[in-house]
Amino acid sequence: MSENKNPQNTPNQDLIYKKRHSLSHILAYAVIRIFGRDNVKLGIGPVIENGFYYDFLLDKPISENDLVRLEEEMRSLLARNYPFERSEMTIEEATEYLLKMDQKFKLELVNDLANGGAEKVSFYTVGEFTDLCKGPHVDDTSVIEPHSFKLTSIAGAYWRGDEKRPMLQRIYGVAFDTKEELDDYLNKLEEAKKRDHRKLGKQLDLFTFSDLVGPGLPLFTPRGTYLRNQLARYSEQLQLEGGFEMVWIPHITKVDLYKTSGHWDKFGHELMIVQSRETETEMALKPMNCPHHAQIYASRIRSYRELPIRYCETTTVYRDEKAGELHGLSRVRSLTQDDGHVFCRVDQIEYEINNIMQMIKKLYQTLGMSFRARLSFHDPENPDKYLGDKETWRNAEMMIENVAKNLGLDYFIALGEAAFYGPKIDIMVTDSLGREWQCATQQLDFVQPSRFGLSYVDADGKEKTPVMIHKALLGSIERFLSVYIEHVGGNFPLWLSYIQGVVIPVSNEKHSEYALEVANYLKSKGLRIQADVDNESMNNKIRKAQEQKIPYMFIVGDKESESKAVSVRTRSGLNIGLMTLDEIASRMLHEYENKL
């Protein structure tokens, strides 16, 4: 059975969703034809971003060579113009049918539906293959262009994500409307492999991991630390300009703090627990900062005249992520946030969100990244996932959407993506390969201030509860770096480059002294410069500088030594020509100061 979570809302998007969903069934059909019906137990086959997958329990492992055979079989099935025909069975009929077909995983799904109150379930038939499924599908296979899809990889996946359940083989595929779109996507996929932040992180000596330290706990080198610190300082600069004040909180806390905030009930399993030997008190490494900031607010009586109060800090939090979900810097157990919280009156919400949005716009404009806003609302079908009453949620979500409209944001609504305490404006950043990533966020919170008993004395002398706005500009700095490194392919702008220029002598014997003189002069101007006087050829040094993606190379030989100048070359291979030391220093300082 496929998951039927179709977030698209236009006819073309609905059609590609149906194509991808139908291809997951065609894949299952092909697997059965090649490996034999008796040898295949079917799991689920949902649509995912850009494609689909299907899980199978087989009596033999699938190889990469099998993917080619399966693709050929799928194209053969598509060419037969089979219709997708929907039918219904009662729970009893479906149970009997699946027992007969010996499909234990499907039978488990039917039992779950029955326990949820379902009296009937739907099936879809294509050719001789029938599968439990809610749909939707294309009318028939002729709608799908036979060369518009590709099976891409095989992975292991526990049934229903439970490591105590059987391990299934998951086959992934991508699919588009046309072969041209598929080819474009595959080309971008190849480019993405070259830009993989884990590969570039090693090549550029930015970060590393250690088995002795533990998985998901990155260690940053001097080069990587400079990069992350520059980003954090710029974020802090924007926040201070926007009226935020820096605070500091400890990295551990009594678990009572998270029980009061509501995090314990929702995310207690993700907390890393620390036991105090002295007091035998159960403590936690902080997984988020908002409850701590709330306690700073609660430290004394507040007046309406003080609001808004804006706190910010750049600090590391810890989450006990599953080992199988860790991935480079994009999913780690220690993540650093440029976090902040605003405590304000209801009538100040729009101004505060606009204030934060201006910071976000400036940050991502500086970094050369476009974005749109995802309004992350609660799922009304699963109210137990959230704290607070329906009316509070309705008002908060109306307020968020009104603010988005008034700011003229390019936005869309995503049900079920809200935090447990309130709706969010999540910033979806588009990278240079057209991929979309959630980075910055603003979250409206009416729940935690009430749970902590936060208040302020209003103009009428009565105590009222403030609203809390959570914000992050970069989000998790580690996750942001995973996106940004791939966005620029490691070609960081000068203000983010650990080494901004390297001086390369034509001849070590004749020109090393002048190379060191040039490097020292540019360093005196506040630039980060190296002189490469190693015993290698000039061409090898140029190649090495390009591999390290250093923005500028300064070649010095007889002509340059005599004229007290340098021949300037960029990492892209552009020869700018001869420049005096003052000219190149002025150029580089302009780039640095203006973050170009």
pLDDT in tens, 509-535: 999 999 999 999 999 999 999 999 999
**Tokens at 133, concatenated:** 């499924």
Torsion angle of the four alpha carbons 141, 145, 151, 156, in this order, in degrees rounded to the nearest 10: -40
Contact 442, 356 (CB under 8 A): yes
pLDDT above 90 for 492 = yes
pLDDT attached to residue 10: 55
Question: Mean pLDDT throughout 495-507?
Answer: 98
pLDDT attached to residue 11: 57
Residue 365 is a catalytic residue = no
Of 12-26, 74-88, 277-291, 464-478, least confident by mean pLDDT is: 277-291
Question: Mean pLDDT throughout 35-41?
Answer: 94
Per the listing, tokens 């500091």 go with 248
CB burial string 93-105: b at 16+ within 10 A, e below: ebbebbeeeebeb
pLDDT above 80 for 9 = no
For the chain, percent of residues with pLDDT exceeding 90: 85
Of 142-151, 312-321, 401-410, least confident by mean pLDDT is: 401-410
Residue 339 is a catalytic residue = yes
**Tokens at 234, concatenated:** 């710029």
Give 163's contacts (C-beta < 8 A, 6+ positions apart). Answer: none
Per the listing, tokens 């929702």 go with 266
Give 467's contacts (C-beta < 8 A, 6+ positions apart). Answer: 343, 344, 345, 346, 348, 349, 444, 445, 446, 449
Give per-residue pLDDT as tens, 66-98.
999 999 999 999 999 999 999 999 999 999 999
Residue 443 is a catalytic residue = no
* Domains of the chain from N-terminus onward: 11-186 (3.30.980.10), 203-488 (3.30.930.10), 494-593 (3.40.50.800)
Name the strand (E) or helix (H) holding 539. helix 538-547
**Mean pLDDT of the residues in the chain:** 94
pLDDT attached to residue 266: 77
Question: Mean pLDDT throughout 17-46?
Answer: 96
The pLDDT-based confidence of 12 (bands split at 50, 70, 90) is: low
Of 69-83, 169-183, 277-291, 479-493, least confident by mean pLDDT is: 277-291
The pLDDT-based confidence of 1 (bands split at 50, 70, 90) is: very low
Residues in the chain: 596
Question: Mean pLDDT throughout 441-460?
Answer: 94
Residue 424 is a catalytic residue = yes
**Catalytic residue from among 169, 239, 337, 442:** 337
**Catalytic residue from among 319, 333, 511, 541:** 319
**Catalytic residue from among 18, 263, 341, 471:** 341
Question: Mean pLDDT throughout 541-547?
Answer: 96
pLDDT above 90 for 325 = no
pLDDT above 60 for 7 = no
Give per-residue pLDDT as tens, 269-318.
888 998 877 777 889 999 999 999 999 999 999 999 999 999 999 999 99
Question: Mean pLDDT throughout 194-212?
Answer: 97
**Catalytic residue from among 424, 471, 511, 541:** 424
The pLDDT-based confidence of 3 (bands split at 50, 70, 90) is: very low
Q: What residues pair up with 373 in beta bridges, in sequence order? A: 411, 427
Contact 52, 113 (CB under 8 A): no
pLDDT attached to residue 263: 86
The pLDDT-based confidence of 322 (bands split at 50, 70, 90) is: confident
CA–CA separation, 401 and 388 (whole Å): 19
**Catalytic residue from among 55, 66, 131, 339:** 339
Contact 316, 288 (CB under 8 A): no
**Catalytic residue from among 470, 549, 569, 571:** 470
**Catalytic residue from among 133, 290, 312, 344:** 290
CA–CA separation, 47 and 53 (whole Å): 7
What would the 3-class secondary structure string for 262-294 be? CHHHHHHHHCEEEECCCCCCEEEECCCCHHHHH
Residue 341 is a catalytic residue = yes
